[in-house]
């Protein structure tokens, strides 16, 4: 049996369908051509690679706080998808309850694109997410996590860290941002996405330099607080990326069958509610 036969949940990906859901006029980046990936197209990729479920992430590019495209996918594909929405920091508790009813399990924050200052007024939303047992998904880069550690520590929100924290390869394992992430493993409400190696590696596939950081995170957080994501359909990639090689890379990163099952299946089912879906 290969990884293509194993049960899997892809925990980081995006849906773009500008023909049905036009991009916002004020978006800074408009995905086009091969970057466009509809829910139907993604479902075909999942079927071909043996992926049962996916956690759809509302993208900052194209849509921002317009979640209609993602919500349409959640409504059209039943229990196959859950979602992470992009919302304004002044979103109300009622807004988030409505999102949760639609299959949304958290809200995304993107200081990697918007800067750390964009998180200054996030406390209220973090507290709403904590009250509703939803996640705050945070994408950082370099040492940004150092500035955000106080926010994480003074709130009770469950945290998803995108793309291994996107460390700076040139700065090595001792860089402050990555060390902060490793230290946060002492907080049991922190979960790391083993994803996006192609975003921060300085090498071509299989991203040998980034593998070192991913392996350390897997060892420090353990398979019960790590999940995997593809980042399909690979926005702004300067080179071609395909889904299947990313899956075979998971076998290299997690050679133990039991640990790999927990990262790919058991842990995301438990964290995001796919467990209930799978038993229906």
CA 45 to chain centre: 18
Question: 73 preceded by cis ω (within 30°)?
Answer: no
* Domains recognised in the chain with CATH numbers: 9-278 (3.20.20.140)
103-146 residue pLDDT tens: 999 999 999 999 999 999 999 999 999 999 999 999 999 999 99
Q: Which residue has the tokens 């709130």?
A: 155
Q: How many angstroms separate the Cα of 132 from the Cα of each of 6, 158, 215?
A: 32, 10, 32
150-163 residue pLDDT tens: 999 999 999 999 99
Structural element, H or E, at residue 245: helix 243-253
**pLDDT given at position 31:** 87
Q: Please, which residues have CB within 8 angstroms of residue 256's CB and are 6 or more apart in sequence?
A: none
Closest CA to 10 of 60, 52, 61: 52
**pLDDT given at position 18:** 97
Structural element, H or E, at residue 105: strand 104-109
**pLDDT given at position 277:** 53
The first and second tokens of residue 255, run together, are: 């050679």
d(Cα 107, Cα 89) in Å, to the nearest integer? 10
In the three-class reduction of DSSP (H, G, I as helix; E, B as strand; rest coil), residue 5 is classed as coil
Q: What is the mean pLDDT of residues 11-17?
A: 98
Structural element, H or E, at residue 39: helix 39-49
**pLDDT given at position 280:** 36
> If you write DSSP's letter for every residue of 15-33 in order, what string do you get?
---TTTSPPPTT-S----G
In the three-class reduction of DSSP (H, G, I as helix; E, B as strand; rest coil), residue 159 is classed as strand
pLDDT of residue 172 exceeding 70:
yes
Q: At what angle do helices 176-183 and 144-154 cross, to 10 degrees?
A: 20
CA 97 to chain centre: 21
pLDDT of residue 276 exceeding 70:
no
d(Cα 9, Cα 13) in Å, to the nearest integer? 11
Give the number of other Cβ atoms within 10 Å of residue 170's Cβ.
8
Using pLDDT thresholds of 50, 70 and 90, give the confidence band for residue 27.
Answer: confident
d(Cα 31, Cα 93) in Å, to the nearest integer? 31
d(Cα 204, Cα 209) in Å, to the nearest integer? 10
- pTM (2 d.p.): 0.95
Q: What are the start-end ranges of the H helices in 102-227?
A: 111-114, 123-131, 144-154, 176-183, 197-200, 208-221
């Amino acid at each position: 049996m290969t990884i293509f036969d194993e049960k899997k949940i892809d925990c980081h990906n995006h849906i773009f369908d500008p023909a049905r859901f036009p991009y916002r006029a004020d978006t800074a980046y408009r995905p086009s051509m091969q970057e466009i990936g509809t829910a139907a197209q993604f479902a075909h990729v999942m079927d071909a690679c043996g992926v049962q479920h996916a956690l759809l992430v509302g993208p900052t590019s194209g849509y921002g706080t317009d979640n209609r495209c993602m919500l349409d996918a959640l409504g059209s594909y039943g229990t196959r998808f859950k979602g992470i929405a992009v919302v304004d920091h002044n979103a109300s508790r009622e807004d988030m309850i409505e999102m949760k009813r639609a299959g949304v399990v958290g809200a995304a924050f993107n200081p990697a694109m918007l800067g750390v200052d964009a998180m200054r007024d996030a406390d209220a939303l973090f507290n709403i997410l904590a009250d509703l047992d939803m996640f705050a998904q945070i994408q950082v880069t370099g040492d940004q996590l150092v500035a955000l550690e106080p926010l994480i520590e003074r709130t009770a929100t469950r945290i998803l860290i995108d793309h291994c924290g996107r460390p700076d390869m040139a700065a090595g394992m001792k860089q402050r941002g990555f060390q902060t992430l490793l230290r946060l493993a002492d907080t049991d409400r922190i979960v790391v996405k083993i994803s996006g190696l192609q975003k921060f590696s300085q090498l071509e596939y299989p991203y040998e330099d980034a593998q070192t950081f991913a392996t350390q995170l897997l060892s420090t957080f353990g398979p019960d607080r790590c999940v995997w994501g593809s980042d399909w359909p690979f926005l702004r990639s300067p080179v071609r990326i395909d889904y299947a090689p990313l899956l075979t890379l998971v076998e290299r990163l997690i050679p133990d069958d039991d640990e790999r099952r927990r990262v790919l299946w058991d842990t995301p089912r438990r964290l995001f509610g796919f467990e209930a879906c799978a038993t229906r």
